[in-house]
Amino acid sequence: MAIYYTDVASNQIQGVNFPGQTGQTMMTPQPGVQNNPILEGPGRITATYTWTGNEAQYDLINIAIIPSGAMIDPNGRVSSGTTAPATTLTLAIGDNDQGLATNLPIPNPQTAPNSLTVIQAPTWVSGTVYAVGQIVLDATSSPANQTYTCIKATTSSQTTAPHSDTTYWIANSVRYSTAINCAAASGNVSTATGTALYAPYLVSEDCWLQALVATIGSPVAGTVSVFRFEIVDNN
């Protein structure tokens, strides 16, 4: 499993683009007008991803940062350029809130180094009782250690791992959209049936909005996909 970055995400992870902040590195070129890509970013995400041709099933594309306390409007779109990005391609849209601490925290110059407390979900344990809303890491998922949310209280008799048990668990990788077909040239595909459509989810800490490559065949290097989503503040 590999992790790739859109143009927005590749700049955000560096903690740059902070004009006016003493000692911070300016980004060249700047993709937008925000001063702080985490705390002062635009409400609308328009992130471009250029395919390398090496992407494979279960790879992840980090689209952009979702700030703590915010939500993503699941009514987003994934668009393609005039050349098809792959022969076959389906993408699911979710996030890695409470995911592995090795993938977080995202660098944030507003805080002192090593001062962040990362909220990492516990690893799922067979036969453990879980309440609705609890989040776990599934060590046997594809890719490994993906987060799942409990949607029905379990009992000690539940021994099926979350990725294989849709009665009790739902993958956070489809929080904003289940897998949608994004293979067409000049496509403009609406996200669909993500769990946030009927159960709005508040992000607990800065995390990545992600596209999971559910299926892919013959990706074309140099082709472009654009992700468009809105960040909704929690009022």
Task: Return the pLDDT at 153.
Answer: 93
Task: Return the pLDDT at 212.
Answer: 95
Task: Return the pLDDT at 107.
Answer: 55
pLDDT of 112 strictly over 90 = no
Closest of 148, 201, 142, 151 to residue 171, by C-alpha: 148
Query: Does any domain span residue 19?
Result: no
Task: Return the pLDDT at 88.
Answer: 97
Task: Return the pLDDT at 227.
Answer: 96
Is 197 within 8 Å of 45 (Cβ atoms)?
no
DSSP string, 125-148: -TT----TT-EEEETTSSSTTEEE
Task: Return the pLDDT at 24.
Answer: 45
Query: Does any domain span residue 38?
Result: no
Structure tokens at 58: 């279960």
Give the chain's domain count.
1
Query: Does any domain span residue 89?
Result: yes
Using one digit for the tens of pLDDT, what is the confidence trace for 169-200? Answer: 989 889 899 999 999 999 999 999 887 766 66
d(CA 213, CA 235): 33
Task: Return the pLDDT at 86.
Answer: 97
Give the mean pLDDT of the chain.
82
Is 169 within 8 Å of 146 (Cβ atoms)?
no
- Give the global pTM: 0.80
Average pLDDT over residues 91-108: 76
| HSE toward the beta carbon, residue 33, CA cutoff 13 A | 3
Task: Return the pLDDT at 104.
Answer: 60
d(CA 168, CA 162): 7
Is 194 within 8 Å of 176 (Cβ atoms)?
yes
Query: Does any domain span residue 64?
Result: yes
Average pLDDT over residues 127-135: 91
Query: Does any domain span residue 111?
Result: no
Domain encompassing residue 63: 3-13+48-97+120-233
**Least confident among 8-12, 93-97, 133-137:** 8-12
Residue 198 neighbours by CB distance under 10 Å: 8
Using one digit for the tens of pLDDT, what is the confidence trace for 39-69? Answer: 455 578 899 999 999 999 999 999 998 888 8
Is 59 within 8 Å of 4 (Cβ atoms)?
yes
Query: Does any domain span residue 220?
Result: yes
Task: Return the pLDDT at 106.
Answer: 59
Query: Does any domain span residue 189?
Result: yes
Share of the chain above pLDDT 90, in %: 46
How many angstroms separate the Cα of 213 from the Cα of each of 56, 86, 123, 140? Answer: 7, 12, 23, 17
DSSP state of 145: T
Residue 147 identity = T
Query: Does any domain span residue 102?
Result: no
Find the DSSP H helices in the chain.
7-12
Share of the chain above pLDDT 70, in %: 77
Closest of 43, 37, 46, 49 to residue 86, by C-alpha: 49
Q: Compare 55 and 116 and report the one with higher pLDDT.
A: 55
pLDDT of 157 strictly over 60 = yes
Residue 155 neighbours by CB distance under 10 Å: 10
Is 129 within 8 Å of 112 (Cβ atoms)?
no
